[in-house]
Amino acid sequence: MEEWIGGIWDKVVRRAAHRGFPEAAVTLESMREVVGPYFRAVGGDAGVALKSGSAAAHGARRRWLERLAGTGERVDLAWQDAEALYLPDTVDTFAEPELNRELYLWLATLAAFSVGDDEPDGWIRNVRATRAVLDALPGWQGRYRRLVDACLTLRTPSASLPPDEAALERAVREQLQHPECNVPRPATKRPHWPVPLWLRPDRPPVVREAAGTPPGERETGGDGPREDDDNRRRFAAERVDMPKTENGMLLLFRAESIFTWSEYVRVNRPTEDDEDGDNALMRAKDMDKLSVARDGKSGKSRVRFDLDLPAADIDDTPLGPGIPLPEWDWRKQQLLPDYCRLEPLLPKAEPLAALPPELRAPAASLRRQFEALAPLPAWRGSSLQGEELDLDACLRFAADRLAGTVAEPGLWRERVPANRSLACLLLADLSLSTDTWVGQRRVIDVIRDSLFLFAEAMSATRDSFGLYGFSSVKRQHVRFQLLKDFSERYDATVRGRIAAIKPGFYTRMGAAIRHSTAILKEQPAERRLLLVLTDGKPNDVDHYEGRYGIEDTRHAVRAAREAGLTVFCVTVDRDAADYLPHLFGAQGCVVVKDANELPRLLPRLYVQMTKRF
């Protein structure tokens, strides 16, 4: 009974102490499709992702009710680094949802205008950015005033604070109301209460890779999809030495002195099978700063077994020793020559495979539709020979005879073949993330059906096409599966290869696009289309993740377009709006929200894209 009453009391006190308005809360997930494009439109770095940040301790004076409830020590503030823009997961600062939505947009605008400012003082940095926004975007003047007015009514009155803190609070209020001025700040023992209209004043530390760190230790997660937003959170961290644990039974401090989780709690999650995984994530959320240490174990021992390369006798058949390819290092702004090695592979499949029964009806329908796309033979007039007389040429000849200027007549019409000269390469992502489920089916099964129906539809036209798949295990093992070469006919052998595809490893997309570009450039066609089918962002087990992988892929796409190719991406990743326009352009990609619709939509998309060819 006491525990039950205590639980109720705790909830009541915490609710009363909370400064926000939960009933007016707005989530980042609901604003993601608006904030991301808006941030880039006002000048923000197009290469950064949009993620949820973690709360940080502020050290300001709390209200007595907050001290009673044990809350208010940490707040969510926005900040930005080279990888992402981090915004609060939920904003309930104001009593009106519209103001909370406006706050998301203001923070994104402020972040866009603060890029490149290396001023260490967060106060000065935020004032500069605010001034720049209001000068460059006059439409924000009135909206900023409304946010300031709403913010000031929620702050602690200066009259209830000690004299030094009261002077600082008055300076904060004056600075918010007059961003065009540089308001002096009095010195105080405590900082002011955080300003929700400003970015985080400090720059959260980022764990740097130590010299000699094995690539396998830089990432321990798989290539699977993110299950929730916790995987997009950014935690402040520091690199430390692993604490020694000899004499584990010797207690050198009083147990009652432990009040937090901040003393070397093991939150490493190398596999998906950790028994204490949920508790580890909970503890990580409660920490102000994560202490990250290397425990001396080999990175290979922490990678799951199903990511090992298969044995040669059961693996796909290699086609040659491998192809060296460059890779773009966005930090150095340099193309690293022969940095990757692509391995062309021929899938081991059962020959003479038939089309799955459930796909025969839609395949027949697609074939009938695509037969109409095949260019019909054309008539060429004024020929010296042909199948029938050209009446227009005959009339011109008769008029010329009457005028006395008769040349050798071409009075016939002949039938000539027509060809729109188009080559299409479909590049499918076969990484480990395709082993996940959408409804009652796996993503890899949806991709397989899409390849079947796309090939059936393309075989009904005269367009040349090739089908390839890719995955990777670090830079020396970029696997490139040949499903159908341009020189091959679509037949039972090709269907067998498609039926044999299975989830692979990681997604080193830049190398696969570069090799696909080289294949397409060799095709004797006037128009060349590279169609990329994926379910996630570029990623690999070494340093090829985050901004590095995105920028390398973007560089490969730009090189393909400079070579005269049309590049288009189709994805089933619901978070692709954060990064895909930066990779392929706003008009060069499409997100299929329901992955099960992909087999039906892919051929239709091809028709729409090639109408102008």
Its sign, for the CA torsion 543, 546, 549, 551, is negative
Q: Quote the CA–CA distance of 490 and 348 in Å, as a whole number.
A: 17
Phi, psi angle pair for 465, to nearest 5°: -150, 155
Cα–Cα distance for residue pair 455/447, rounded to 1 Å: 12
Which residue reads 């592979």 in tokens?
345
Q: Which amino acid is at 438?
A: V
Q: How is the chain split into domains, by residue range? A: 2-177, 215-242+258-303, 319-371+420-610, 378-415
Report how far residue 499's alpha carbon sits from residue 596's, in angstroms, rounded to the nearest whole number: 17
Q: Which residue has the tokens 């128009």?
A: 527
Non-local CB neighbours of 527 within 8 Å, separated by 6+ positions: 420, 421, 422, 423, 566, 610, 613
Q: Which of 564, 446, 466, 556 is nearest to 507 (CA)?
A: 556
Place of tokens 């909970």: 282
- pLDDT at position 225, please? 40
Residue that is written with structure tokens 């059962």 in the block: 350
Distance, C-alpha 519 to centroid of its chain:
26
| CA proximity to 500, closest of 458, 452, 569 | 452
Q: In the chain, which residues have pLDDT < 70?
A: 1-2, 9, 204-308, 311-314, 373-379, 407-408, 416-419, 612-613
Question: What letter does residue 506 receive in the DSSP assignment?
Answer: B
Q: Is the pTM of this model over 0.85?
A: no
Q: Within 13 Å and on the Cβ side, how many CA atoms surround 276?
A: 8
pLDDT at position 135, please? Answer: 96
Burial of 14 (0-12, 13-18, 19+ CB in 10 A): middle
Q: Report the alpha-carbon distance of residue 102 to residue 50 in Å, rounded.
A: 17
Q: What is the largest CA-CA distance in the chain?
A: 120
Buried b (16+ CB within 10 A) or exposed e, 45-54: bebbbbbbbb
pLDDT for 395 equals: 86
**198/190 Cα distance (integer angstroms):** 18
Q: What's the first-to-final CA gap in the chain, in angstroms?
A: 76
Distance from C-alpha of 75 to C-alpha of 60, rounded to nearest angstrom: 11
Report the topology of domain 319-371+420-610: Rossmann fold (3.40.50)
CA angle, 101 as apex, 95 and 106 as ends, to 5°? 115
- Give the DSSP per-residue string, 162-220: -HHHHHHHHHHHHHHH-TTS-------SSPPPP-TTS--SS----PPPPTT--GGGS--
Identify which of 271, 249, 327 has the alpha carbon closest to the alpha carbon of residue 508.
327
List C-alpha distances in Å: 563 to 329, 515, 525, 528.
21, 13, 13, 10
Helix intervals (H) in 459-577: 492-499, 509-521, 546-562
CB 567 within 8 A of CB 588: yes
The one-letter amino acid code at 337 reads P
Chain centroid to CA 362: 32
Q: Which of 500, 564, 496, 555 is nearest to 530 (CA)?
A: 564
Report in angstroms the alpha-carbon separations of 303 from 97, 270, 306, 477: 44, 7, 8, 16
**Contact (CB, 8 A) for 347 and 500:** yes
